[in-house]
Structure 1
Amino acid sequence: MITHRFAFIFVTIMINLLLTSCGGEADGSGSSANKTPQASATPVPAVLAEDLNEPDDNTQPENHESSAFYFSYDDSASTASKELTFTALQEGRVPPASWGRPYEYLNSEKFTHFNADSYLPFDVSFGIYAAQALEIPLREEIDDALYALGVNISGPNMTQEERPNVVLTLLVDVSGSMEAPYAIETYGDHRTLLDVVKVGLMTLLDHLKEGDVLNLVTFSTGSDIPVQNWFYNPSDDTFTNAVAGLYTQASTNLNAGITKAYEAALQSYQSHKANRVIILTDAYANQGEVNPTIIAENTVINGREGIHFAGIGIGNGFNDRFLNQLTDIGKSVYAAMISPGDAERIFGAGFMNFIDSAVSDVKFRLSYPNNFTHFSSAAEEVSEDPEQVNSTNFSYNSSQFFLELFSTQNASDSDTFVLTITYKEAGETQTIEIEKTLAQLQAAGGELHIKSAAAATTLASLVNGELSCDVVLASSLYAATEVSEIFSNYRDAIDHYCALINKN
């Protein structure tokens, strides 16, 4: 900051003058430390005050009252890494560090609201919890008081009857790798990854309605279109027979599949309907090279919403990083479909998440008092520059929980936090600004929800290596007695994880 630079220059000049008067020479160097500890999966940027004019001897630098940052909790709204982690723990395997993505753990849970306010089209719960010493496990100790800020935001709901019709192109991987078992232990008649896909596709039929259109595209070494431009008709077995007849073959050429899927989707495109491509794959290409350009080029068609690309990773070993990148480009969501139960959930109650966005180009900004330090974030992206944070599309029947940690030495009840939400609705940019004092945030009653979110992100931090089991098991958060079902599930998962680590 300018203040520090001025002090440094002044001291340097004085030392030189003193040494010069004694006939000596001076040689010095200096360094400055970042005020913000890096204790989160997402590095928190140092917050710098605006440029100030150099003060004279009688002038104090201006005191800025607040700082701010933009953030995103995953623009593809993925839940994959959490689902993969829990499956690994159930099977007695230590999940890899790449699965420790805290924002996906939070995305996977359905938090209830606390003292919510309605800011159409959103409902927002906004609270803060003053944590006790060692209550929330941290990678490094801090001397200041710790405050955990939680925000639960949910969009509007929409029923099957209310949703727009969809032109849905299902791109199914039928390569040889889809013959692998979906888990170490399987049950019933469903054994392979392709079996899981079939369960999902058959469940889908119960959630279609008159006017919906389906394409079924398969790919392995090449690609094929078993069903094209099929209008939903519960009496017509065309789609059911095609799904039953799917079988695995040859190698994986993802690019051939994506190219063929967009050929079918463009031929069936209807501007007044939601047009979507959903890929179901383990996402391991061993032939050809994937070119994402075709996905990006078709998200907007003739100035209107085009064809969005969603992804479903099959089994517990799919290439989730790659699928996340593709769906980010395609402006839609992706999820993990590990078991037949997941297939029924995703293509049942969760189907709406793939179909329609309630609002688009959503961005979040949080302003906080300068006497607080933004210590840690569970977000995927954090920056003072809005251009460095991707906007999101907020689906119907969906919600997100945000967890941000702050430290301070001198909190005041009148300290003010401001959450700003910008978004587009019907093509028009809208802004919501929610301003709360520290006293109001503490009175919101979100303690149990914030602790539950902290338990979720704690497991993620164990998996990604930021926290150790010794630190977590010794924390008072782990020993909490008044807990939610979400908290209990994560505490059990932490037990399993640490038992596996100690065993190995």
Structure 2
Amino acid sequence: MERRTRLYRGAVGLFLAGGVLLTGCSGGGTSHDTSAAERGKRAPAPAPAATGGSAAGGAAEDGAKDASGAEKSDRLRESAPPDYLSTFALDVDTASYGYARRTLDDGRLPAPETVRPEEFVNSFRQGYRRPAGNGFTVSVDGARPGGGKDGGGDWSLVRVGLATKAAPSSAERPPAALTFVVDISGSMASPDRLGLVKTSLGILTDELRDDDSVSLVTFSDEAKTLLPMTRLRDHRGKIHDAVDSMEPTDSTNVAAGVRRGYDEAVDGHRKGANNRVVLLSDALANTGETDAEAILERIDSARREYGITLFGVGVGSDYGDAFMEQLTNKGDGHTTYIADEEQARKVFVDQLPAHLELTARDAKAQVSFDPKTVEKFKLIGYEDRKVADDDFRDDSVDGGEIGPGHTVTALYAVRLRDGASGRVATATVRWLDPATRAPHERTGSVGTDAIDGELWGGRSTRLQVTAVAAYFADSLRGGALPGAPGLGELAARARELARTTEDDSVAKLAEAIGRADRLKGGRSDTGSGTGEGEMD
């Protein structure tokens, strides 16, 4: 019940954000950037005016939002009530999906609490239009999924997509000053843990430029600096030797490692460079401070004064997923997961600029549904990224840090009112310029005509891939989204999408779904999602 309520509240926010942005990219309406001076500081994003006695109602017990209840219409007209607002921090983490694939490869179903649908969805290429400068473009589309036990009823699936500018080439990005904090505890003593970390750092050492700098900190019971901040120029061999010297020992004192890592990052801080702490660990903290918030409090001044963000790279079949996510969220960063050398090359070579550079700080979205057209709605995922509505324009409240080449996608299950036509939602996205910290916003709206049409077999194969990933995640954590096919059907659809898109990542998605279906004994081959049990 509590989890579902969080799901609803996060859902409202992202859909609105998507709606706002939509106007700039599709459908009618207008979209533009505004500065903080032009908009009321800390005021909620504008909500549609209620007419005809329609206003906010209470949240359903399972987390879906019911947009009815005439007794609150006056309050809605005056200032968007909490019932219509959902505010959340943007998120580009992908570790949950990577860890789920690894777990399935090992012949086990992932624990439901480790499954975060937004990280499944954000693991796939979307093809959104990108802006020329910092900030975001927004694309919003949707379709009716059909399928499922009751054909999906009158629910629609809405996709909100945000994209930053294209990632620069290695030669074009600013120099990097990276502090690697490596877990060498006893739990890391296997080829797929410390062995993979050493391989990954070796790949990265060869990939970095001569004007980049790295330092290396290791931790077990205590933390130790193996290498102070060192320029790559003429020192690659020295860095390789330091990486090769790491051997596993003793317990896991993550707090000691993070503190020492930030000390080194501050000592080696380079103005004008991308300064990052990169934590590589199975995140199984068992010594010293083991609370993520308490750990980050001890290095808070370094984070805020120097703008040093934390990038988490998870490894290992037994992985502290929740701890790593909490640590990087509070450390103004993000996390990913690697299981093999192929994934290491993707993270440390193909995606390197996106992990090093920032185009937006403290990015948040606030979404407001129009009660005249929407009866119920549900955001799929983002439960852990919600922000208080009143904090949307409070720039001291953390949002999400987004880099070049990133996309952020959110999916909503939306039930329109009978015969509804017109605006569905208004959304606002707010972010800070990473250099000046000047705030910017982008606003737009989406209408009912943007979510018509059939999902399966439609023109947007990327929307179909997104839906498959979201339905897969929801199934793994025991949900029942409206129109959701069973795992057997999802695997078949993913295989067909892999063929039509010629995308190897979609083929791997199909394999993962097939493994999950077999582990569940094929019991989900008939559609499982009616929506009524989950939403009403």
User: Given the two structures, how large is their TM-score scaled by the length of structure 1?
Assistant: 0.77
Give the one of 449, 455, 474 matched to 2:462. Answer: 449
Is the CA contact (8 Å cut-off) linking 1:68 and 1:365 kept in structure 2? no
CA distance in 2, matches of 1:235, 1:215: 12
Q: What pairs with 1:133-212 in structure 2 (closer than 5 Å)? A: 134-135=147-148, 145-157=154-166, 158-180=168-190, 191-212=191-212
Q: What pairs with 1:394-413 in structure 2 (closer than 5 Å)? A: 394-413=402-421
**Residues 280 and 403 of structure 1: is their aligned pair in 2 closer, same or farther, counting only changes over 3 Å?**
same
CA distance in 2, matches of 1:473, 1:159: 41
Residues 1:379 and 2:393 are matched in the alignment: no
Is the CA contact (8 Å cut-off) linking 2:89 and 2:387 kept in structure 1? no
Residues 1:335 and 2:350 are matched in the alignment: no
Residue identity matched to 1:473: G
Is the CA contact (8 Å cut-off) linking 1:332 and 1:393 kept in structure 2? yes
1:159 deviation in Å? 2.0
**Residues 168 and 50 of structure 1: is their aligned pair in 2 closer, same or farther, counting only changes over 3 Å?**
farther
CA distance in 1, matches of 2:338, 2:304: 28
CA distance in 1, matches of 2:316, 2:218: 18
**Residues 442 and 219 of structure 1: is their aligned pair in 2 closer, same or farther, counting only changes over 3 Å?**
same
Residue identity matched to 1:363: K
1:268 deviation in Å? 0.9
The aligned counterpart of 2:313 is 312
The aligned counterpart of 1:502 is 521
The aligned counterpart of 1:432 is 442
SS at match of 1:292: helix
1:243 deviation in Å? 0.9
**325-334 or 233-242: which moved more?**
233-242
**Residues 383 and 241 of structure 1: is their aligned pair in 2 closer, same or farther, counting only changes over 3 Å?**
closer
1:96 deviation in Å? 1.4
Q: What pairs with 1:340-379 in structure 2 (closer than 5 Å)? A: 340-370=341-371, 371-379=373-381
Structure 2, unmatched stretches of 5+, are 1-55, 499-504, 524-536
Q: Deviations over 1:188-218 (max 9, x none)?
A: xxx2411100111011123322322211111
Percentage of pairs with the same residue? 22
CA distance in 1, matches of 2:269, 2:420: 56
1:383 deviation in Å? 6.8
SS at match of 1:206: helix
Q: Deviations over 1:160-192 (max 9, x none)?
A: 222221211101111111113xxxxxxxxxx24
**Residues 331 and 438 of structure 1: is their aligned pair in 2 closer, same or farther, counting only changes over 3 Å?**
same
**Residues 464 and 482 of structure 1: is their aligned pair in 2 closer, same or farther, counting only changes over 3 Å?**
closer
**Residues 44 and 203 of structure 1: is their aligned pair in 2 closer, same or farther, counting only changes over 3 Å?**
farther
CA distance in 1, matches of 2:204, 2:130: 34
**Residues 245 and 117 of structure 1: is their aligned pair in 2 closer, same or farther, counting only changes over 3 Å?**
closer
**Residues 478 and 86 of structure 1: is their aligned pair in 2 closer, same or farther, counting only changes over 3 Å?**
closer
The aligned counterpart of 1:6 is none
Q: Deviations over 1:331-385 (max 9, x none)?
A: 0111112222222221111222321111112122233331213432123145772
SS at match of 1:309: strand
More helix by share: 2
**Residues 178 and 487 of structure 1: is their aligned pair in 2 closer, same or farther, counting only changes over 3 Å?**
closer
Q: What pairs with 1:53-64 in structure 2 (closer than 5 Å)? A: none
Give the one of 63, 85, 109 matched to 1:69. Answer: 85
Residue identity matched to 1:155: T
1:295 deviation in Å? 3.4
The aligned counterpart of 2:33 is none
Structure 1, unmatched stretches of 5+, are 1-32, 55-60, 181-190
User: Given the two structures, how large is their TM-score scaled by the length of structure 2?
Assistant: 0.73
SS at match of 2:332: coil
The aligned counterpart of 1:252 is 252
Q: What pairs with 1:116-127 in structure 2 (closer than 5 Å)? A: 116=129, 121-127=135-141
CA distance in 2, matches of 1:276, 1:253: 20
Residue identity matched to 2:231: F
Is the CA contact (8 Å cut-off) linking 1:459 and 1:493 kept in structure 2? no
The aligned counterpart of 1:297 is 301
CA RMSD, Structure 1 to Structure 2 (Å) = 3.6
The aligned counterpart of 1:238 is 238
CA distance in 2, matches of 1:124, 1:198: 38
Residue identity matched to 2:514: D
More strand by share: 1
CA distance in 2, matches of 1:477, 1:208: 40
Bigger relative contact order, structure 1 or 2, given CA contacts below 8 A and separation 6+?
A: 2
The aligned counterpart of 1:421 is 429
Residue identity matched to 1:70: S
Q: Deviations over 1:373-430 (max 9, x none)?
A: 3432123145772538952121111112110111023244433433322111232111
**Residues 495 and 479 of structure 1: is their aligned pair in 2 closer, same or farther, counting only changes over 3 Å?**
closer
Is the CA contact (8 Å cut-off) linking 2:221 and 2:250 kept in structure 1? yes
**440-449 or 307-316: which moved more?**
440-449
Is the CA contact (8 Å cut-off) linking 2:252 and 2:284 kept in structure 1? yes
CA distance in 2, matches of 1:46, 1:387: 24
Residue identity matched to 1:498: D
1:49 deviation in Å? 7.4
SS at match of 1:298: helix
The aligned counterpart of 1:15 is none
Is the CA contact (8 Å cut-off) linking 1:129 and 1:447 kept in structure 2? no
**Residues 107 and 99 of structure 1: is their aligned pair in 2 closer, same or farther, counting only changes over 3 Å?**
same
**When the two structures are aligned, how many residues end up with a matched partner?**
441
CA distance in 1, matches of 2:141, 2:522: 39
**Residues 236 and 393 of structure 1: is their aligned pair in 2 closer, same or farther, counting only changes over 3 Å?**
closer
CA distance in 2, matches of 1:256, 1:360: 27
